Amino acid sequence: MSESNETTKPSLYLGFDSSTQSLKATAIDAELAIVYETMINFEADLPEFATEAGVHRGEDGLTVTSPPIMWVAAFDLLLDRMKAEGFEFGRVAALSGSGQQHGSVYWAFDAAISLRQLKPEKSLRQNLEGCFAIGDSPIWMDSSTTYQCRALEAALGGPQAVADLTGSRAYERFTGNQIAKISQVKPEGYNQTERIGLVSSFAASLFLGDHAPIDASDGSGMNLMDIRSRGWADAAVAECGDGLSEKLGDIVLSHACVGTIHSYFVEKYGFGANCRVIAFSGDNPCSLAGLRLEQPGEIAISLGTSDTVFAALSEPKPSASEGHIFASPVDPEGYMALVCYKNGSMTREDIRNRCANGSWDEFNRALAETPVGNGGQIGFYRKEPEITPPILSTGANRFDANNQAVDAFPEDAEIRAVVEGQFLSMRLHGANIGIEASKILATGGASANSAILQVIADVFGVEVYTADQPNSASLGAAYRALHGAACAEAGSFIPFAEALTGEPAMSVAARPDAAAHETYNAMLPRYAELEVGLLQST
Ligand code: 5FX
């Protein structure tokens, strides 16, 4: 790999991750060694925006938003911190980024002019205040667009037709349905919008100093992109807002270099003028890149604000009942399959607080002391309206070994039930869209919990690995920066695995126990039946 222009030291590749709760940066060298990492927490570091874990919740229990100007302010804080810590911006040959998927940003008319004229004597926030036509961006946790989802499916010939065209049936958090709602309930803001970005392309726009295109992988989470051609699906776009096609810009492949960094960052932070900006993408696509999922059967389970299970795929089989097909972030002809749960870490934390005095040690002791299979008890927990299966009412449903609904479990059984239920569900719904595990890579905050990893190994009956670096999305963004730069230098696409040398640093964290796996094999059909009953009754 080349040396950076600004110094004789070897080049660095920088990845950002603008997630639900935080903004992270990870820098690597060409040998993939991590040389720098830092993080801003929205709630703790930017209290003036009064978010709870990075978000604002509406009174209806379904609307969830975040202020885009907070995300801008987080970049100011992060870059200033990096500068204060002596980060060598001049060595960065290319940067890229990851964003929470589905969230939409509404740039007001003339925002492009402000982006092009960023003034280094001001912060990004001061430069861009007033550039957003909608001050609260709907994010992936929002479930308030059921009406718009049904309308899109009705217009395009039903849920399977929408899935065949866009990779997923209409989902509440998917951006097209969110845009449709904004155009209906906030028409003034919609009409004042010159460009709609995803969180990923919005963040790329800051570095580019212009509107950045949406990449095909994150664009797959909109219900607006033709999953096969990787261009806009005109019939879907026409349904989601008047004049929407003019507001969306282009779609580019995820390895595309979308330009060089704006002079603002050269003057203010010392980036090299030739630093490339590689298209930013979604957090799950970037995690797929960060975990370097290459072989069929290698699947990832990400345990964070959302829990997700995903894998690379060559043949897409979009389903009207569950899961999503996205364009691959590393292979212009490949795909990835993903199942997403809204009830992830925060729901486990809620049960830890209720049943284990807020202590993970107590939570893990309960897991260790309760029997595999929980004596037949099965629970479904929804602190948030759930995506998989789609149940918007919150609460819990508990069943005893005879499938009878019960009001409560003993505290220790409640803890086992929330953990077992989540992984039985992942096995069930993952298999329905072609995700079959021969090896699991666990990532995200809860992947540090070995008691939870053991349940995963036992439910799936395969070894669970963890990476040395749990922030797979920002690491994946850094890998994608390197990959995109290599493609740009070569003037043609280079396979991801060729651009990235060396083996991923992973180690076995849990091995399956054969008897425990048998218990879960027997439990899975009961879990599936109870879930069907629950869906019918809610
Ligand atoms: C994926 O479809 C999701 O909605 C979530 O995993 C978000 O990407 C979390 F940021």
pLDDT band at 459 (very low <50, low <70, confident <90, very high): very high
pLDDT at position 5 over 70: no
Residues in the chain: 538
pLDDT at position 270 over 80: yes
pLDDT band at 505 (very low <50, low <70, confident <90, very high): confident
Tell me how far the alpha carbon of residue 138 lies from the centroid of ligand 1, in angstroms: 13
pLDDT band at 295 (very low <50, low <70, confident <90, very high): confident
Least confident span in 167-176, 345-354, 468-477: 468-477
Which residues have C-beta atoms less than 6 Å from ligand 1?
19-20, 100-102, 140, 173, 221, 282-284, 306, 308, 338, 340
Mutate which of 17, 98, 100 for ligand 1 pocket (most atoms within 8 A of beta carbon): 100
Structure tokens belonging to residue 311: 């894998």
Tell me how far the alpha carbon of residue 221 lies from the centroid of ligand 1, in angstroms: 9
**H-run or E-run covering 179:** helix 175-185
Structure tokens belonging to residue 113: 């002019």
pLDDT band at 264 (very low <50, low <70, confident <90, very high): very high
Q: Are the C-beta atoms of residues 324 and 338 closer than 8 Å to each other?
A: yes
Helix residue ranges, H only, 194-344: 199-208, 216-219, 234-239, 244-248, 263-269, 283-290
Name the pTM for this structure. Answer: 0.96
Tell me how far the alpha carbon of residue 503 lies from the centroid of ligand 1, in angstroms: 27
Nearest residue to 432 via CA among 508, 329, 325, 326: 325
Ligand 1 nearest-atom number relative to CA 20: 10
Angstrom distance (rounded) from CA 223 to CA 226: 8
**pLDDT score recorded for residue 503:** 78
Tell me how far the alpha carbon of residue 247 lies from the centroid of ligand 1, in angstroms: 23
pLDDT at position 380 over 60: yes
pLDDT at position 3 over 70: no
pLDDT band at 115 (very low <50, low <70, confident <90, very high): very high
Beta-sheet strands, E only, within 304-421: 307-313, 324-327, 335-341, 378-382, 395-399, 405-406
Q: Are the C-beta atoms of residues 497 and 473 closer than 8 Å to each other?
A: no
Which has the higher per-residue pLDDT, 365 or 4? Answer: 365
Torsion angle in degrees (nearest 10) through CA of 74, 79, 80, 81: 90
**H-run or E-run covering 422:** helix 411-432
What is residue 436's three-state secondary structure?
A: coil
Per-residue pLDDT, averaged over 396-418, amounts to 98
The residue contributing the CA closest to ligand 1 atom 9 is 100
In sequence order, the 6+-apart residues with CB closer than 8 A to the CB of 26 are 14, 15, 17, 34, 36, 37, 469, 471, 474, 475, 477, 478
Beta-sheet strands, E only, within 19-134: 22-29, 34-41, 56-57, 64-66, 92-99, 104-108
Per-residue pLDDT, averaged over 429-458, amounts to 94
Backbone angles phi, psi at 460, to 5 degrees: -85, -20
Ligand 1 nearest-atom number relative to CA 221: 2
Which has the higher per-residue pLDDT, 401 or 469? Answer: 401
Tell me the helix, strand and coil percentages in the chain, rounded to 5: 40, 20, 35
Per-residue DSSP letter, 122 = S
Tell me how far the alpha carbon of residue 340 lies from the centroid of ligand 1, in angstroms: 7
Tell me how far the alpha carbon of residue 369 lies from the centroid of ligand 1, in angstroms: 33
In sequence order, the 6+-apart residues with CB closer than 8 A to the CB of 70 are 42, 46, 49, 51
**pLDDT score recorded for residue 1:** 44
Angstrom distance (rounded) from CA 75 to CA 64: 22
**pLDDT score recorded for residue 4:** 46
pLDDT at position 471 over 70: yes
Distance of CA 372 to the CA centre of its chain: 31
Angstrom distance (rounded) from CA 149 to CA 167: 14
Give the chain's radius of gyration (CA, Å).
Answer: 22
Per-residue pLDDT, averaged over 17-40, amounts to 97
Mutate which of 281, 308, 338, 471 for ligand 1 pocket (most atoms within 8 A of beta carbon): 308
Tell me how far the alpha carbon of residue 345 lies from the centroid of ligand 1, in angstroms: 13
Per-residue pLDDT, averaged over 97-123, amounts to 98
**pLDDT score recorded for residue 469:** 81
Per-residue pLDDT, averaged over 325-331, amounts to 97
pLDDT band at 27 (very low <50, low <70, confident <90, very high): very high
The residue contributing the CA closest to ligand 1 atom 6 is 306
Mutate which of 283, 339, 471, 474 for ligand 1 pocket (most atoms within 8 A of beta carbon): 283
In sequence order, the 6+-apart residues with CB closer than 8 A to the CB of 288 are 300, 310, 312, 328, 329, 330, 336, 476
Per-residue pLDDT of 361-372, as tens digits, reads: 999 999 999 999
Helix residue ranges, H only, 85-145: 111-116, 124-128
**pLDDT score recorded for residue 428:** 97
Per-residue pLDDT of 43-78, as tens digits, reads: 999 999 999 999 999 999 999 999 999 999 999 999
Nearest residue to 364 via CA among 325, 319, 415: 415
pLDDT band at 144 (very low <50, low <70, confident <90, very high): very high
Per-residue pLDDT, averaged over 210-234, amounts to 98
Mean pLDDT of the chain: 96
pLDDT band at 470 (very low <50, low <70, confident <90, very high): confident
pLDDT at position 294 over 80: no
In sequence order, the 6+-apart residues with CB closer than 8 A to the CB of 110 are 131, 194
Per-residue pLDDT, averaged over 181-189, amounts to 98
Distance of CA 495 to the CA centre of its chain: 23
Q: Are the C-beta atoms of residues 325 and 335 closer than 8 Å to each other?
A: yes
26 conformational bin, left if phi > 0, alpha if psi -120 to 50, beta if neither: beta
Structure tokens belonging to residue 451: 């008691």
Per-residue pLDDT of 420-440, as tens digits, reads: 999 999 999 999 998 999 999
Mutate which of 280, 326, 340, 426 for ligand 1 pocket (most atoms within 8 A of beta carbon): 340
Q: Are the C-beta atoms of residues 293 and 312 closer than 8 Å to each other?
A: yes
The residue contributing the CA closest to ligand 1 atom 10 is 100
